[in-house]
Structure 1
């Protein structure tokens, strides 16, 4: 395995400054945002699509620091009921897939998106209960009319370009659990997989180790985000897992994102790394920093420090003891 970082936390720095900092911490890879929620501070999408010369210069800038691009990320909602919002996200995804192909980057990370409740809806509708039965009817309509058709076509395009799509299992979007990912993958093809982020599993009550085993059996883990979550027992009893309070209300929230090692101990993270190795994932572990209690520099530094203690880097080799 190799250690990388989702570089959006360094958006205020130039590409060169960011790469020098990442290299100084001994990392191997960068995950770059191309637009949407992550922005495109270090990857000017249209500019790079238009010029082979600029693409080669861009790659040389990264590779000269002994780094590689693990993935391009363009998180948005291509299923949004407002057509202009959906089209913007769709166009961004199409362009990002095209750039990934030209840069020979194997993974594009994004969200599945979430549709509305009808053709005339204005906002996404994320059903989380099976009753009253309206929710089941809504869910069937979303999958059959919106989710399956869209992602089946994207899966076909990605497959033809030898690109894998890593969907982040994020609450608020239609694909948010191992089960919903496998449901989509069965219809849309093996180009569709997970950008697995334990932080979004923990708050849903999902054990990341078991999620890795479930998805790993299907070779459905395309990329991995390293971010932690802490659960507040008193607040979760007050607000539940689907706490709708803003992230900034850290004292009152049921759960909050933390840097690696500050929500779960390193034994838990060691178990996660071992599970990844067990199912054959031997690629980049990409740090994502969204810890409201730590500065960018400290949160990133602690994540690097903690992950270096548990990351499994070397090939297994033969079992000399058997």
Structure 2
């Protein structure tokens, strides 16, 4: 298993400085944004797709720093009911899959998207309750008319390029739990899997260790994010887990993101890493920093310090004791 970082938090650094900094922390992998919500500070997709010399220089710089690219990420909403939002996200996903193939990067991360509630809708509709029954009708239409047809096509496109798609299970999008992740995978194909982020499990009331088991038994974990969450029970009692309070108003929120080890103890993280190994995930744990109480440097450094001791890196070999 390798420890890495989603480099969007270093958007103020140029590519070379970012590589120097990440390597200086002893990390082994980087996850790069190609556009959409993460931006493209370190990966200009059109340049790299159409200029072989720049592509080779790019690959060489990463290798020279002793790093690998764990994933390319283009989080967006390709199923947004407004074409001016959906179409660029869809084109970016296709180009990101093509670039990943050229770079020999096995995973592309994104969101499942969330459609509207009918063909002429303007905004996404995220049903989260089975009653009144209107919500069930919306959900059925979204899956049958939008989600399954779209992701079947993307599964086939990804497979043709030998790429896996890691969907981040994130509130506000149609795939946000292990259950609906597996539903989409079963309907669309095995290239579809999870970019599992425990922070989004905690605030939904899902135990990430159990989520790892559920998805791992189906070989459905394609990538893994390391980010923590804290629950403020007083605010949770007031606002509930679907709290709409602005992220910046941390004192009033029911939950908010923390760096690794500041929402849950290191033993919990050790248990997660061990469960990943138990479920045959032997790839990258990619740090994502969205902690409003710490600077980028401090939050990232503490995440590295907390994760390094619990990472499992060597292969097991034979059981000498049995």
Common topology (TM > 0.5): yes
Match for residue 136 of structure 2?
Answer: 136
**1:157 Cα deviation from its structure 2 partner:** 0.5
Match for residue 303 of structure 1?
Answer: 303
Equivalent residue runs for 1:79-158 within 5 Å: 79-158=79-158
Deviations 1:253-296 (A, max 9, x none): 00000000000001100110010000000000000000000000
Deviations 1:195-223 (A, max 9, x none): 00000000000000000000000000000
Task: Name the SS for the 1:119 alignment partner.
Answer: coil
Further displaced range: 309-318 or 218-227:
309-318
Equivalent residue runs for 1:21-100 within 5 Å: 21-100=21-100
**1:318 Cα deviation from its structure 2 partner:** 1.4
C-alpha separation in 1, matches of 2:66 and 2:187: 38
Deviations 1:141-163 (A, max 9, x none): 00000000000000011011110
Segments of 4+ in structure 1 off by > 3 A?
A: none
Equivalent residue runs for 1:259-270 within 5 Å: 259-270=259-270
C-alpha separation in 2, matches of 1:244 and 1:315: 44
C-alpha separation in 1, matches of 2:317 and 2:149: 44
**1:309 Cα deviation from its structure 2 partner:** 1.5
Match for residue 197 of structure 1?
Answer: 197
Match for residue 206 of structure 2?
Answer: 206
Match for residue 283 of structure 2?
Answer: 283
C-alpha separation in 2, matches of 1:26 and 1:314: 16
C-alpha separation in 2, matches of 1:246 and 1:313: 39
Task: Name the SS for the 1:200 alignment partner.
Answer: helix
Equivalent residue runs for 1:140-289 within 5 Å: 140-289=140-289
TM-score scaled by length of structure 2: 1.00
C-alpha separation in 2, matches of 1:233 and 1:70: 36
**1:319 Cα deviation from its structure 2 partner:** 1.2
RMSD of aligned residue pairs (Cα, Å): 0.4
**1:16 Cα deviation from its structure 2 partner:** 0.5
C-alpha separation in 2, matches of 1:270 and 1:62: 28
C-alpha separation in 2, matches of 1:297 and 1:97: 30
C-alpha separation in 1, matches of 2:301 and 2:68: 20
Task: Name the SS for the 2:4 alignment partner.
Answer: strand
**1:46 Cα deviation from its structure 2 partner:** 0.4
C-alpha separation in 2, matches of 1:319 and 1:106: 30
